[in-house]
Amino acid sequence: MPDLRQPNARGLFGGVFARGGVEAGDTAWLQAMLDAEAALARALERAGMAPAGSGEAVTVTAQAANFDPNALGELAALTGNPVPGLARELARRVPQTAVSAVHRGATSQDIIDTAAMLLARRAIEVILADLAAAADAAAGLAADHRATIMIGRTLLQQAVPVTFGLVAAGWLTSVDEARDGLAGVSARRLAVQFGGAAGTLASLGEHGGRVAALLAEELSLALPVLPWHTDRLRIIDLGAGLARTAAALGKIARDVTLLAQSEIGEVSEGPSGPRGVQGTRPSPQPPRRGGSSAMPNKHNPVASVAILGCTKQVPGLLATLVAAGEQEHQRAAGAWHAEWEPLTALLRLTGSASSWAAELLPGLTVDGSRMAANLAATKGLPLAEHVTSLLTGVLGATQAHDLVAEAGERAVSAGLPLRDVLLSVPKLEERLASAGIMAEQIDSALEPAGYLGVTDALITAALKAHETLTLPEWPYG
C-alpha cells in the first residue's frame, strides 16, 4: 500500500488516474525526446557524419534531469513545439566537438513522433505485465468457479442460469485478446520517424537513408518504408490498441459493480482494511479501501469504479486521434499538435486501469451461497425456456409456449414457484398429464444444473487458449 503520508507526485487525482508503472508525464516525454536526439547523434557518428565520440557526449548530456521542462514549455510558445528549444539547450550543454551531432538532419516532428513511439513501447511493456496478472487471476476464477451456478442476466433482467466460471472465462478471453492486440501494435506498428523538413532527408544528401536505418537500429524501432509525418495510421493503431484494452477492462469493472450491489451481493472487492476496536481509542491507521466520507458502513468497489473512471475517458481521446488523422501535405497545421495530449492521456489512463485490474481480480471475493440464493429466489422462472423445450415435443411449439407463458404469468402474479403453478393449477396439470408429462420431468427441467449447455466446455476452451497464448514479439532487438 502506498505511504499516504507522502504527497502524490502525480497530482491530486493521480492515485486514481495515474496508478501503476506507466510514465507518460512531462519528464517521461522529455527523456524520450532526449533519447531520440542522443540516438540520432550516435547514428550520425556511425554514418561518418559526426566526429568520433560525439554520440557518447550527446548521450551523456541527454538526461532529463539536466533540463527544465517548464522553461522548454515557455520556449515552445515561440515555435509551436518544445523541440527547437530543447535542441538549442542540448547543443549548448554538449562539448563543442559534439555540437554538429545535435539534431542534424531532423525536424521537430521527427523527434516528437519518435519519442511518442519510445514512450508507447515503454508503457505497453508495463500494461502487458499488469494485463498478464489480471488474466491469470481471471483464469483462476474461471477454473475455481466453473460449477458455481448463478443467474444469467440479459438487458439487466434475469435470464437463464450460467456459472460464475463462465463469466470469468469471458473476462479472461477479452483480456487475452486485448493483450494480443496491444502486443501486436508494439511488435509491428512502432516505428522511428526521420524525414527531415519535408520527408526527403535532403539535408543529409545521399547519407539520409543510412542515418535513418542506423537511428532505427539504435532505438530498436522499426524502419518504416517512408517517413510518416502526415500518415497517422500508426498513431491511430496505437490508440485503438489502448482503447480495446480499456474496453475489456471496463466490461469487467462494470460487471463487478453490478454484481457487488447490496441487493445482489454476489461478489465483493478485497479486504477493506482495519477499522479499530469499538470502545477503545483507535490507533492511527491508513484509510480503509472503499470507505465513504458520509456513510461509515459502506464498502464501495473502489477498484472497479476507478477502472471505469479511467476507461470512460478513452473513447473521446481515441476519437480525437482519428479526427487528427487528416493532415495537410507534408506537415499538418494543428492536427499533429492535437495528438500529443490525447495520446499521453490514453497511455496514462490505460496504464492506470490495467494496474487497478491487476489488483481487482486477484482479490475478488465470490459469494457462491448468495448466487445460489438469488437463483432460488427466481422460483424457477428462468428455467421456463427449458420447460418449454420439454413440452414442445409432445404439445408442439405454439401450445408449449402458450402453456408455459400462462403458467409464468400466474406464478408472477401469485408470487408462487413456477413448479407449483404447473403442477397445481388444474387446467395446466390436466394438459400436462394428457401429454404424459410427469412431475419428475418438470422437476428435472427446473434444475439449473441441467440447463447449462456447453458451459463447461467453453470454460475449458478459454483456459486452454490462455495457457497456449503466444504474444507477438518485438522483432527489432
Per the structure block, which three cell numbers stand in for 438?
Answer: 410427469
* CA distance linking residue 140 with residue 168, whole number of Å: 9
For residues 89 and 67, the answer to whether their CB atoms sit within 8 Å is: yes
Residues composing the chain: 477
* CA distance linking residue 418 with residue 383, whole number of Å: 9
Cα separation values, 69 from 31, 323, 448, Å: 10, 28, 62
Q: Which residues contact 314 (CB under 8 A, 6 or more apart)?
A: 242, 243, 246, 247, 346, 349, 350
Per the structure block, which three cell numbers stand in for 135?
Answer: 488474466
Per the structure block, which three cell numbers stand in for 421?
Answer: 403453478
Q: Which residues contact 351 (CB under 8 A, 6 or more apart)?
A: 18, 19, 20, 21, 22, 24, 123, 126, 127, 130
Contacts 24+ apart (CB under 8 A), 283-288: 286/1, 286/4, 287/4
Burial tier of 285 (Cβ tally within 10 Å: 0-12, 13-18, 19+)? exposed
Catalytic positions: 292, 331
Instruction: Please measure the distance between the N-terminal and C-terminal CA atoms of the chain and give it in whole angstroms.
Output: 35
- Half-sphere exposure (Cβ direction) of 454: Cα atoms closer than 13 Å: 5
Query: Cell numbers 476519437 correspond to what residue?
Result: 319
* CA distance linking residue 118 with residue 393, whole number of Å: 64
Query: Cell numbers 515503454 correspond to what residue?
Result: 122
Q: Which helix (H) or strand (E) holds 268?
A: strand 267-268
With vertex at residue 397, the alpha carbon angle to CA 392 and CA 403, rounded to the nearest 5 degrees, is 80
10 Å Cβ neighbour count for 211? 24
